Amino acid sequence: MTVYIYRGGIPIRFLNKYIRRYWKLYFVTFIFLSAEAVCDLLQPTIMSKIIDQGVGTSDINYVLRMGGFMLLVTGVGAAMAVIRNIISSIVSQRFGRDLRGDLYKKIQNFSFDNVNEFQDATLITRLTNDVNQVQNFAHGMMRIFIKAPILCIGSLVMAALINPSMTWILVGVIPIIVFLIFLNMKISYPFFIQMQKALDGLNARMREYLAGIRVVKAFNRFDYEVDRFTEASKDLTQISIKGMRIMAVFRPGITLVVNLGIILVLWLGGYKVSKGEMQVGQIVAFTNYMTQILFSLMMLSRVFTMFIRAKASASRIGDVFAAENTLQREEEKGPRQAKEETTYDQNIKGHIAFRNVGFSYGGEGEGVLHDISFACKPGELLGIIGSTGAGKSSLVNLIPRFYDVTEGAVEVDHVDVRDYNLKVLREAIGIVPQKSLLFTGTIFDNIRWGREDATDKEVEKAAAIAGAHEFISTFPKGYETQLGQGGVNLSGGQKQRISIARAIIKNPKILIMDDSTSAVDLVTEAKIRRELQKYMKNTTTILIAQRITSVMNADQIMVLDNGKIAGLGTHEELRNNCDIYKDILYSQLGKEGFAHVIETI
């Protein structure tokens, strides 16, 4: 599968919102951090005083006094750290929560084109791992950001105060370390991006495997799947190892440079002490400041690594935020009829018309539909029949604007669907998708999902029309039966009937049934059809079917072939005029010679 390509330099402006929201608390943590840094900075100096003036002169009172002071400073520093930690954890967790929430909302608003563009797996990685990376960075900033520079510069100043003549060692060492850190960042940045991509790949594999685990078992294709998984896993391992290898060289390299500096201090210091120019305590303090500088630079490099990862992740999140909803854009043009405040049943009557419609996925290629024109009056039943891949699902998907036409226009009640408020348009349409998709929860919840305020009675009525009431009643828990993910504990036909119930409970003006009774036996199907005709008289229904018996009684039947209308008319008309229809009819009636009997049940 193709993983969504990282486009460098996508603005991460989306972060501004959270910065505005949290900068005050951020600022508070910075004050605490600064106080912490000052406490850390004081310690080596106090220690050098204890060594030189207390221990050196055997003044036990001085040692105790300064020791007490040192304890106090450490205590204050620790208290600051605790408070700051509490605040920073809260802020970073809230930030993560907000970002995840906003991202989730954004994805909810995606058009089908957007979802196709990004693919589920990368969206999951972006929602989880990428958000975590950015959140970690936000947390890291509050732990380290201000403290490291204060500690670094402060140590330099304090060391210079102790002995200016040795400060040049520091001045020499620091630029080397800074250079090494910079180099490290520059080299490892591309690896982090690749790592994130490899993780995407792995997630995609896992998801596909888990979704298709039954098929994999049925076909005994474990080895094949394991190989594919291993490959994706190997990709991630290799790229991670490469990234880590760079770290493995740089980290010890930096420590080495600092240790060389310390040796230089000890060597030179020892010489100065022997000449009486310096005291032992000062050398101890000096090396302490030196390690503090190393520590702070290491912290900075950690922040930078986090920054690199976070930047890669933030760009990927930014891509999602920046993705324009193709449909939304149309809406912003200024809808002719923004019917948000009015309800559909006052407005939409269910008239449907296609005018020379052409359509292709992503607006490219040859096209899936060509020059489709037809019209349905309110309450009519249109049957669509045609071989697999003919474009039946694509055609009906244009009505609720899951996709927009590339040519021509789709009209509902003589108004272009692109001029409707999406919510109003979709409110008027009930859809039973080709692949039944149920949610975790009870059967009752799943049916009522179609209309939140439906009563128990209405749910039962809808189930009865859809031919589902009978089998639901045989379950020990009835409507309260818990469904697994995607309704795994139901048969194919049972799932289909529940999704039909979910669509008709909306009492839609337009009902689209995409091959919705394919898994239901003929007797039950005929029954459902009769019920629908009885109760959904005012609903314009589009019924896609494989079996001719399912559409035979329709007001109009459309024969779709290769994206074109090969025939449009009643059963009688098509039987006489349309060759493809005749072929289908004879081939099916041959097999299902009893079909006409079924019709009369």
Site map 358..377 versus ligand CTP, x via CB under 6 A: ---x------x---------
CB 258 within 8 A of CB 185: no
How far apart (Å, rounded) are the C-alpha atoms in residues 380 and 20?
55
In order, the DSSP letters of 517-556 are TTTS-HHHHHHHHHHHHHH-TTSEEEEEESSHHHHTTSSE
Site map 243..282 versus ligand CTP, x via CB under 6 A: ----------------------------------------
Smallest distance from the beta carbon of 541 to ligand CTP, in angstroms?
17
Window of 47-55, 198-206, 326-334, 389-397 that interacts with ligand CTP by CB under 6 A: 389-397
259 is a contact residue toward Mg ion (CB under 5 A):
no
393 is a contact residue toward Mg ion (CB under 5 A):
yes
Radius of gyration over every alpha carbon of the chain, rounded to an integer in angstroms: 35
Window of 119-127, 224-232, 282-290, 391-399 that interacts with ligand CTP by CB under 6 A: 391-399
Smallest distance from the beta carbon of 388 to ligand CTP, in angstroms?
3
How far apart (Å, rounded) are the C-alpha atoms in residues 486 and 493?
14
Window of 212-220, 243-251, 385-393, 570-578 that interacts with Mg ion by CB under 5 A: 385-393
Positions 325 through 364 that interact with ligand CTP (CB under 6 A):
361
Window of 269-277, 392-400, 462-470, 530-538 that interacts with ligand CTP by CB under 6 A: 392-400
Smallest distance from the beta carbon of 86 to ligand CTP, in angstroms?
49
58 is a contact residue toward ligand CTP (CB under 6 A):
no
Window of 40-48, 74-82, 132-140, 381-389 that interacts with ligand CTP by CB under 6 A: 381-389
Window of 124-132, 208-216, 382-390, 497-505 that interacts with ligand CTP by CB under 6 A: 382-390
- Cβ proximity to ligand CTP, 341 vs 364, nearer residue: 364
Smallest distance from the beta carbon of 370 to ligand CTP, in angstroms?
12
Q: How many CB atoms lie within 10 A of CB 599?
A: 13
401 is a contact residue toward ligand CTP (CB under 6 A):
no
Q: What angle do CA 501, 505, 509 make, to 5 degrees?
A: 115
492 is a contact residue toward ligand CTP (CB under 6 A):
no
Smallest distance from the beta carbon of 392 to Mg ion, in angstroms?
5
- Cβ proximity to ligand CTP, 220 vs 388, nearer residue: 388
Q: Helix, strand, or coil here: 123?
A: helix
- Cβ proximity to Mg ion, 170 vs 372, nearer residue: 372
- Cβ proximity to ligand CTP, 42 vs 417, nearer residue: 417
Smallest distance from the beta carbon of 319 to ligand CTP, in angstroms?
21
Interface with ligand CTP (CB under 6 A), residue from 390, 417, 503, 545: 390
Q: What angle do CA 87, 93, 95 make, to 5 degrees?
A: 100
CB 109 within 8 A of CB 133: no
CB 431 within 8 A of CB 499: no
CB 108 within 8 A of CB 323: no
518 is a contact residue toward Mg ion (CB under 5 A):
no
How far apart (Å, rounded) are the C-alpha atoms in residues 381 and 557?
9
CB 76 within 8 A of CB 35: yes
CB 543 within 8 A of CB 382: yes
Smallest distance from the beta carbon of 373 to ligand CTP, in angstroms?
18
Q: Is the dihedral of CA 413, 418, 421, 423 positive or negative?
A: positive
Closest CA to 301 of 251, 335, 253: 251
How far apart (Å, rounded) are the C-alpha atoms in residues 290 and 306?
24
Q: Helix, strand, or coil here: 601?
A: coil
CB 317 within 8 A of CB 130: yes
Burial class (CB in 10 A: 0-12, 13-18, 19+), 111: buried
Interface with ligand CTP (CB under 6 A), residue from 74, 132, 434, 481: 434
Smallest distance from the beta carbon of 392 to ligand CTP, in angstroms?
3
CB 310 within 8 A of CB 318: no
How far apart (Å, rounded) are the C-alpha atoms in residues 393 and 513?
10
394 is a contact residue toward ligand CTP (CB under 6 A):
yes
Q: How many CB atoms lie within 10 A of CB 406?
A: 17
CA distances from 174 to 263, 292, 297 (A): 15, 12, 9
Interface with ligand CTP (CB under 6 A), residue from 75, 389, 484, 492: 389
Give the CB-nearest residue to Mg ion: 393
Window of 1-9, 17-25, 81-89, 386-394 that interacts with ligand CTP by CB under 6 A: 386-394
In order, the DSSP letters of 191-249 are HHHHHHHHHHHHHHHHHHHHHTHHHHHHTT-HHHHHHHHHHHHHHHHHHHHHHHHHHHH
Q: Which does 450 bind (CB under 5 to 8 A by kind): ligand CTP, Mg ion, none?
A: none
Interface with Mg ion (CB under 5 A), residue from 240, 291, 347, 434: 434
Window of 62-70, 387-395, 480-488, 568-576 that interacts with ligand CTP by CB under 6 A: 387-395
- Cβ proximity to ligand CTP, 34 vs 518, nearer residue: 518
In this structure, are strands 540-545 and 381-386 parallel, antiparallel, or unpaired? Answer: parallel
53 is a contact residue toward Mg ion (CB under 5 A):
no
393 is a contact residue toward ligand CTP (CB under 6 A):
yes
Residue labelled with tokens 């991202």: 103
2 is a contact residue toward ligand CTP (CB under 6 A):
no
List residues binding Mg ion (CB under 5 A).
393, 434
List residues binding ligand CTP (CB under 6 A).
361, 368, 386, 388-394, 434
